[in-house]
Chain A
Amino acid sequence: MTGSYAELARALLPEAGLMAGALLILGIDLVWLRTRSSTLRLRVAAGIAAMAVMAAMVAVWLGAGAGPVAGGALVLDSLAVAARLGVLGLTLFTLGVATGAPAPRHPAEYVAIMLFATAGFTLMGAAHQLLIAFLALELASLSLYVLAGFDKTCPESAEAALKYFLVGGMSSAFLLFGFSLIYGATGSIELPEIAAVLGRQASSPLLEVALVMILVSFGFKVAAVPFHLWAPDAYAGAPTPSAALIASGSKLAGFVLFARLLWPALGRAVGVAAAPRGGRDWLLAVVLMAGASLLLGNVAALVQRNLRRLLAYSAIAHAGALLLGVLALGGSGPAPLFYYAATYGLAALGVFGVIAGVERVGGCARIEDLAGLHRRSPLLAACLLIFVLSLAGIPPLAGFFGKLSVFMAALQLDGLAGPVGWLAVLAILLSVVALYYYLIVLKQALVAAPAPRTPRIAVPLPAALALAGAAALLVLLGVFPSLVLARF
């Protein structure tokens, strides 16, 4: 290994900060707070975690632009910095959402595991080597399994965790198998080295099997059809802040990691992005996954009565559009993909935050449970309006420009001559279908009268700040998309 340990320590400062924060939370809770109310313990833990996350953001900011570190195991290019800042920001908002949700039985452990997951996400954003990539993914995934099953009193939560764990474990196995085949084919685990070797040698069946393995795992991670079946159950059963983290930070980190694996490393194994040759490239497989996700996600969301399942199917549809960004990455760079994934995560997280707020005074499973939200909590209703409209892609919110930049990148590959262009057209037309189910949600929240004897909702200050901040950020990034797009 070349490179000094000081350099490595500097590059890993954000992760170190997160770990220190997690240990501090566990220690303080163990020593001083065992006998206090769980709400207080949650507040203290979330407060420390928020400071750790902000410290990590500062560390990322200061360490930007260092190039490959630790002999190329990590890379701190603009995408890595953006991805790390993005997942840290999403975790910060998720922490705010968590303070608004009913407190779990072991609040300190819950928050600490969130920080572990976040450390996994930030590593995923910077990983430039197969081994680091796999370890980061596992750190994040194992933490998320625990978070999904954290509500031990609720059978749905256990079911969500089990499904998520079984499917995720299998996907990890696929990924590891794929990685080992790539190592066998190229003799390296460094992404640039793999690319260089692949550029020299002809395509081999071994490599194709490896590609299929990696794509299967990718599909599981981002919930793309046909590997999406875990998502509705996980979204519906997991505690709300866990679902928010699965929908936001995990998704952003997953897309960044796999975009890096596919393009810089395995990009040499493909032809022209616009016109994949039949069967031999991973591009065609991604095209099919994207198209199927767009169709199934949007159509299945139409018939959902359960709000969280609706969000899950909308997430599948968004994953389809994000795959379009992965396809277009070779032509237009990672800016559209990152912008879309980050702003999508922010909006999805926000909707879960609103659900968490409603759950303070009762269930929030069916869409009808939102009825009369404008009376019960004008703040939650206004935030929900912005989050859902951003998901629907209505200007001037960030969701619109996310879709726009991805579709433009897709169309610029080869206009309508290739399948990617047609996929963009399909996505634009399906956005009309999507608007229908998003408006159904908003109709309940903003138009319908509240059910009799539903109490008003008091949102605690940190949660209110997080939701209002997320909504304001969606408006700001929508009115000035260049704030993000110009960073690449």
Chain B
Amino acid sequence: MSAPPLNGLLLAGGKSRRMGSDKADLAVHGPESLRDRGMRLLKDLTTDCFLSIAADDDRPYSIPTLRDALPDHGPLGGILTALELASDRAWLVLACDLPNLDLETLAQLIASRDPTADATCFRSPVDGVPEALCTIYEPSAVTSLRETVGRQKLCARRFLDSLRLNAIPLDNETALQNCNRPEDLEELRLQLEDGRTEKSVTLEFFAKLRDEAGCSAMAHTTSAATAAGLWDEIRLLHNLSMDLDSVRLAVNDEFAPWTRPLAPDDRIAFMPPFAGG
């Protein structure tokens, strides 16, 4: 039995709350928007491809769109709309905020596709968890998806865990870097400008973060360009309980913004919200 033909879906129906503006409009590599870039990649690799848009999105588009059947059901709502529309097709689903995603990485995913599984995806190179941002869903996934969405369980990553998954290693570790926040965009832009260079830095942890990291200071080597990029690495590596919105940052004994570029031998202090007096 031959594998079902592959359609493409670019998820662009999100509210981009943390970014503050529609992520799909952002241009990272040159003037091409993330929306146009994602559709261009899909066009080369799939039979038919569509832009997944929110139920209430009334903007004019010159490309084929698939409107969410249900409002406010997140990416899983968009994926379900697609699977139900063309139940004889598999769907290569991409998040729109992956500026470094390349043809080679997608070709590798397609080549490793297992049509007898429910889905094929990559494992995160940092923590080995299946990546929900770039996934091939087979027609067989629709039953689980319908049930999950029906129960209002809308987390894509947890949904993946419930499927018969074919998860493969990711060779290009920058391919699935995404940009949710302006700090992520700055990290990606700086990496593009300066290249990904390895730097030795010292991390300093205080109070609850010190308990969670297991020590007050440690040497660390990173390819991150900004403190925000470094934080994302460290948060996953040490399973820290806080995030950028509450942690305070100091570099070399002075307060610094998360977009601060890193330099070799920097001392980076991660501090929980203050509680003195």
Chains A and B belong together in one complex: no
